[in-house]
């Protein structure tokens, strides 16, 4: 009996040790959870940097840093000053899904470069401006320069490529004589980085490999004494894919890899845990190994996700074509060589490292500066918040603006990182004006959000839950009168089992459920992911009202 018990204990310890070892020997995708799409990566020494698209959000161009490719720290933004974003690069009243598209980050001779596009739609004449520009810094955490706009550069998603003594712009556009709607083409031209302008002849390189639908997101690399052009193709949904071509000359002609696409989920079930993988960038490690970062969408909520497009990591090897009958046997990248797809769990890139997935966020506003994770929809108005008026609290002013297209409401938030979560915030609110409201919000777009607020109407207090969905007017789902409100309330939202539970408490300990809804109302519509945050408005009136938030707390839970 004793012997059997000893064997069981030893077996248990061995199994436990094995599990711990297994956990430490793999990492979990996505490596940067939340709405961080279109990743671009570069390496300087033993440190890696990733920049992502930010579209209409401010600050723009979030930059993360890592030593091991699996643990990433947000260190700053490329666009964080108002003077960077209120002229040719307009993030003041930019339309939803406009703004900053698909950046590239590179390092050359002591300087970091980010090249990207701002997309701005003019409603008056129904035209769209594509402003392609470069910002520079010697420290990726900033300060970053003012935008250097490159005139005469059409299209989106530019790449910058340093080759010996030349600097190249690799861009996209619609060809002059397209074969079909949505056909894209990659073009190339030299950049004069002393005067920030394109010069010399423009070269037209490639229209993609599998039909050429929405060819975009180009990146140029040099290996095996040849030039490799990698692109995204197939749109941003289930047919999204990564294609690659090669040439002996940077100006072409480029020959497509016969085995394209090199990464996609178009051949997998719609029920695969992640889909729409694509828009990728490659990085070489010091030891000669290669990895790819790519976006993907988790299928947590009916083939979609509140988080939208997130950053994933995939191993890459290079293999020479084995065909004896080919005179030129090209070397090609093979993505995820064991499985051919983005896996949820993958061996860590470096030995003796482990991933520390911190899916929480807590802010008690004790700092003199706003936490880097906070974002606004567009450049915020001057009087939106203060960390000085009430020390240790975030003061959010009830400006007249409400959440609306191209608007700048008193709304700020941080990215949702998991489908299941608990989010809460403690608020003090004693407005003097009717119609003033404040509380928390879950938001995706100007026409797609929840607000869970305390509102003063006819000198009475109400708790109110409002939902806005695309194509519909905002709707008050429930309004409840409150008779015992003394100025302080804690809001809480719990997400689990495909539902949201909206709850509140006046003492911080006993919570009451206000309403339960489905959790698929703010699924990512197109480019960005959901945010959790705080909101205040006087609903059209000019007041001096405000709400003070003592803290916000978020905890995501892996499925």
Measured distance CA(558)–CA(309) in Å, rounded: 17
Q: Are 39 and 311 in contact (CB under 8 A)?
A: yes
* 29-347 and 360-557: identical CATH topology: no
* Strand stretches in 123-268, DSSP E: 127-137, 148-149, 159-163, 166-173, 185-192, 197-206, 216-223, 226-233, 241-247, 255-256, 263-264
Tens of pLDDT along 482-495?
988 899 999 999 99
Measured distance CA(481)–CA(249) in Å, rounded: 72
What architecture (CATH level 2) is domain 360-557?
Answer: Sandwich (2.60)
Which pair of structure tokens corresponds to residue 491?
Answer: 């809001």
pLDDT band at 6 (very low <50, low <70, confident <90, very high): very low
Catalytic machinery residues? 38, 216
Tens of pLDDT along 105-123?
999 999 999 999 999 999 9
Kindly list the domain boundaries of the chain, sorted by start residue.
29-347, 360-557
Q: Work out the mean pLDDT of the chain and round it to a whole number.
A: 94
pLDDT of residue 2: 37
Higher pLDDT, 413 or 12: 413
- Phi-psi category of residue 459: left, alpha or beta, with phi > 0 → left and psi -120 to 50 → alpha: left
Burial class of residue 411, CB neighbours in 10 A (0-12, 13-18, 19+): buried
Q: Would you say domain 29-347 falls under CATH 2.115.10.20?
A: yes
pLDDT of residue 24: 66
Measured distance CA(528)–CA(101) in Å, rounded: 11
Would you list the DSSP string of 273-298? SEEEEEEEEEEE-TTS-EEEEEEEEE
Measured distance CA(128)–CA(102) in Å, rounded: 17
pLDDT of residue 20: 44
Tens of pLDDT along 129-169?
999 999 999 999 999 999 999 999 999 999 999 999 999 99
What's the Cα-to-Cα distance from 135 to each of 145, 151, 218, rounded to whole Å?
A: 5, 15, 18
pLDDT of residue 40: 98
Sequence-distant (6+) residues with CB within 8 A of 119 are 94, 98, 99, 101, 128, 129, 130, 131, 156
Sequence-distant (6+) residues with CB within 8 A of 164 are none
Tens of pLDDT along 19-63?
444 446 999 999 999 999 999 999 999 999 999 999 999 999 999
Q: Are 58 and 79 in contact (CB under 8 A)?
A: yes
Does the pLDDT at position 100 exceed 80? yes
Q: Are 63 and 50 in contact (CB under 8 A)?
A: yes
Q: Are 411 and 443 in contact (CB under 8 A)?
A: yes
pLDDT of residue 4: 44
- Phi-psi category of residue 322: left, alpha or beta, with phi > 0 → left and psi -120 to 50 → alpha: alpha
Measured distance CA(24)–CA(18) in Å, rounded: 10
Does the pLDDT at position 69 exceed 90? yes
Q: Are 222 and 164 in contact (CB under 8 A)?
A: no
pTM: 0.94
pLDDT of residue 138: 98
Does the pLDDT at position 212 exceed 70? yes
Q: Are 233 and 209 in contact (CB under 8 A)?
A: yes
pLDDT of residue 553: 98
Does the pLDDT at position 196 exceed 60? yes
What is the C-alpha radius of gyration for the chain, rounded to an integer number of angstroms? 25
Lowest model confidence (mean pLDDT) among 20-24, 177-181, 425-429: 20-24
Q: Are 444 and 452 in contact (CB under 8 A)?
A: no
For the residues 343-366, what does the mean pLDDT come to? 96
pLDDT of residue 210: 84
> Which helix H or strand E contains 553, and what residues bound it?
strand 546-557
Q: Are 519 and 301 in contact (CB under 8 A)?
A: yes
Which pair of structure tokens corresponds to residue 454?
Answer: 């305390």
Pick from 423, 413, 394, 401: nearest CA to 547: 394
């Amino acid at each position: 009996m004793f012997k059997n018990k000893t064997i069981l204990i030893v077996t248990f310890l061995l199994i436990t040790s094995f599990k711990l070892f297994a956990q430490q020997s793999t990492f979990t995708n996505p490596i940067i959870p939340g709405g961080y799409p279109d990743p671009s990566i570069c390496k300087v020494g033993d440190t890696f940097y990733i920049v992502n698209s930010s579209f209409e959000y401010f600050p723009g161009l979030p930059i993360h840093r890592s030593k091991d490719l699996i643990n990433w720290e947000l260190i700053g933004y490329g666009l964080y000053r108002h003077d960077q974003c209120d002229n040719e690069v307009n993030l003041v009243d930019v339309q939803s899904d406009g703004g900053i598209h698909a950046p590239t980050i590179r390092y050359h001779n002591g300087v970091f470069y980010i090249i990207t596009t701002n997309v701005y739609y003019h409603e008056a004449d129904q035209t769209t401006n594509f402003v392609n520009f470069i910002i520079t810094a010697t420290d990726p955490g900033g300060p970053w320069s003012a935008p250097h706009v490159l005139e005469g550069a059409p299209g989106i998603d530019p790449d910058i490529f340093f080759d010996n003594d030349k600097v190249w712009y690799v861009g996209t556009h619609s060809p002059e004589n397209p074969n079909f709607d949505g056909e894209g083409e990659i073009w190339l031209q030299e950049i004069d980085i002393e005067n920030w302008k394109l010069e010399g002849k423009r070269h037209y390189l490639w229209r993609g490999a599998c039909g050429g639908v929405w060819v975009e997101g180009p990146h140029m690399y040099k290996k095996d004494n040849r030039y490799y052009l990698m692109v995204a193709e197939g749109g941003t949904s289930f047919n999204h894919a990564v294609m690659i071509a090669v040439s002996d000359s940077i100006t072409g002609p480029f020959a497509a890899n016969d085995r394209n696409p090199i990464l996609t989920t178009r051949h997998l079930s719609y029920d695969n845990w992640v889909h729409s993988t694509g828009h990728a960038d490659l990085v070489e490690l010091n030891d000669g190994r290669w990895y790819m970062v790519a976006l993907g969408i988790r299928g947590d909520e009916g083939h979609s996700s509140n988080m939208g497009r997130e950053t994933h990591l995939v191993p890459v090897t290079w293999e020479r074509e084995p065909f004896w009958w080919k005179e030129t046997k090209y070397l090609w990248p093979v993505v995820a060589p064991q499985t051919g797809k983005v896996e949820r769990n993958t061996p860590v890139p470096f030995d003796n490292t482990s991933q520390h997935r911190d899916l929480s966020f807590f802010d008690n506003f004790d700092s003199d500066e706003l936490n880097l994770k906070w974002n606004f929809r567009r450049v915020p108005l001057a009087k939106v918040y203060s960390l000085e008026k009430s020390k240790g609290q975030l003061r959010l002013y009830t400006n007249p603006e409400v959440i609306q297209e191209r608007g700048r409401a008193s709304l700020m938030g941080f990215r949702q990182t998991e489908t299941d979560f608990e989010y809460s915030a403690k608020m003090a609110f004693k407005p003097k004006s009717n119609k003033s409201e404040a509380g928390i919000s879950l938001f995706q777009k100007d026409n797609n959000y929840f607000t869970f607020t305390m509102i003063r109407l006819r000198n009475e207090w109400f708790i109110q839950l409002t939902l806005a969905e695309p194509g519909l007017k905002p709707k008050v789902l429930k309004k409840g009168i409150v008779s015992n409100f003394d100025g302080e309330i804690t809001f809480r939202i719990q997400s689990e089992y495909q539902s949201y539970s909206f709850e509140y408490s006046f003492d911080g300990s006993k919570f009451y459920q206000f309403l339960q809804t489905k959790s698929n109302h703010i699924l990512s519509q197109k480019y960005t992911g959901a945010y959790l945050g705080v909101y205040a408005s006087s609903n059209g009136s000019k007041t001096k009202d405000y709400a003070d938030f003592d803290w916000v707390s978020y905890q995501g839970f892996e499925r």
